[in-house]
């Protein structure tokens, strides 16, 4: 069972929580941030299979499983007129939102730029994000000593009693590249549990931006909780100093140009 506590009226957080200490943060030199979505995590619709009786009249002769399959495609790809939010955008929005809310202190001011992380891990993808855990040791030559990772394990739409909404769950963790978890938090966000307004699945099928907008709001709430976790109140602001840089090989001097005539 998932033991939860309401946060911000929208996000529930797991009781299996490993808080981060101020001393642990002080010991880090250069973190890297990875956000990813597990294989088969979504987006998915279980609206009609979970709540078939509520939608039987509107589905008419359409099978509930087929209705969920069609809605899943709309959640993932959108329509000819409107785009939805793809997996890459979900993961990167969550990463960017957490970064924007972290305090401007060490080690967060020294995080490896996301473009470098993506280059080293070969994760420059438009519509997808890596499903499997990356080989973070490949980041060590860039001075990275720790990883802040957020993993989405499942997300999409569900329904109960004729009321549908968005759900998303996963976990966040901070760990050293050489081993040792410094922080971990499971999160579960569900609009039905939060009592938010019904999101009509038939309207979503016509206008997938309705789904995209709800997901973005949910990501903001999750990011806010994670940023709070990573900002212990007992920690004093740390003076920042530029991280050591890898020196590039010197550029050879250009030979003097000769007279072309």
Integer Cα distance of 240 and 110 in angstroms: 8
Q: What are the CA-CA distances from residue 188 to residues 36, 157, 175, 218 (Å)? A: 16, 13, 21, 10
Structure confidence at residue 234 (pLDDT):
65
Q: What are the CA-CA distances from residue 254 to residues 93, 242, 243, 257 (Å)? A: 44, 31, 31, 8
β-strands 181-190, 11-14 pairing: antiparallel
Q: What are phi and psi of 37, to 5 degrees?
A: -120, 130
**pLDDT tens-digit series, residues 154-167:** 999 999 999 999 99
Parent domain of 61: 4-229
Structure confidence at residue 54 (pLDDT):
97
Q: Check residue 195 and give left, alpha or beta (phi > 0: left; psi -120 to 50: alpha).
A: left
Is this prediction's pTM over 0.75? yes
pLDDT means over runs of 10, the chain (261 residues): 44 68 95 93 96 96 97 95 92 94 94 91 60 85 96 96 96 95 94 92 97 95 94 63 44 42 28
For 243, how many CA atoms within 13 A lie in the half-sphere containing its CB?
Answer: 18
Count up the domains in the chain and report the number: 1
In a domain, 180, yes or no: yes
Residues listed for the chain: 261
Q: Is 41 helix (H, G, I), strand (E, B) or coil?
A: coil
Structure confidence at residue 121 (pLDDT):
86
In a domain, 256, yes or no: no
In a domain, 123, yes or no: yes
In a domain, 34, yes or no: yes
User: Is residue 143 within 8 Å of residue 243, measured between CB atoms?
Assistant: yes
In a domain, 101, yes or no: yes
Structure confidence at residue 256 (pLDDT):
45
In a domain, 234, yes or no: no
Structure confidence at residue 233 (pLDDT):
75
In a domain, 65, yes or no: yes
Structure confidence at residue 3 (pLDDT):
44
β-strands 31-37, 11-14 pairing: unpaired
Integer Cα distance of 47 and 171 in angstroms: 24
> Could you tell me which residues are beta bridge partners of residue 186?
171
Structure confidence at residue 118 (pLDDT):
87
DSSP single-letter state for residue 28: -
β-strands 31-37, 146-160 pairing: parallel
Structure confidence at residue 153 (pLDDT):
95
DSSP single-letter state for residue 139: G
In a domain, 236, yes or no: no
Structure confidence at residue 232 (pLDDT):
87
Integer Cα distance of 66 and 19 in angstroms: 43
């Amino acid at each position: 069972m998932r033991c939860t506590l309401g946060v911000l009226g929208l996000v529930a957080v797991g009781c299996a929580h490993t808080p981060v200490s101020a001393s642990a943060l002080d010991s880090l030199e250069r973190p890297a941030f990875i956000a990813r979505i597990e294989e088969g995590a979504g987006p998915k619709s279980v609206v009609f299979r979970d709540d078939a009786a509520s939608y039987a009249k509107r589905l008419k002769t359409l099978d509930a499983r087929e209705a969920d399959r069609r809605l899943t495609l709309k959640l993932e790809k959108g329509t000819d007129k409107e785009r939805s939010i793809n997996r890459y955008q979900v993961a990167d929005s969550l990463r960017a939102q957490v970064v924007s809310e972290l305090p401007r202190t060490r080690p967060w001011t020294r995080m490896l730029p996301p473009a470098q992380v993506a280059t080293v891990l070969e994760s420059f993808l438009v519509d997808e994000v890596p499903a499997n855990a990356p080989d973070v040791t490949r980041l060590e030559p860039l001075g990275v000593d720790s990883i802040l990772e957020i993993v989405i394990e499942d997300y999409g739409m569900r329904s109960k009693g004729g009321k549908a909404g968005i759900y998303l769950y996963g976990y966040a963790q901070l760990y050293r590249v050489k081993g040792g978890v410094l922080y971990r938090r499971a999160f579960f966000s569900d609009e039905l549990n939060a009592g938010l307004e019904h999101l009509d699945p038939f309207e979503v099928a016509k206008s997938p931006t309705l789904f995209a907008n709800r997901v973005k709001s949910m990501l903001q709430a999750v990011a806010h909780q994670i940023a709070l976790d990573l900002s212990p109140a007992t920690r004093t602001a740390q003076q920042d100093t530029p991280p050591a840089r890898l020196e590039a090989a010197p550029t050879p001097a250009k030979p003097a140009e000769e007279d072309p005539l």
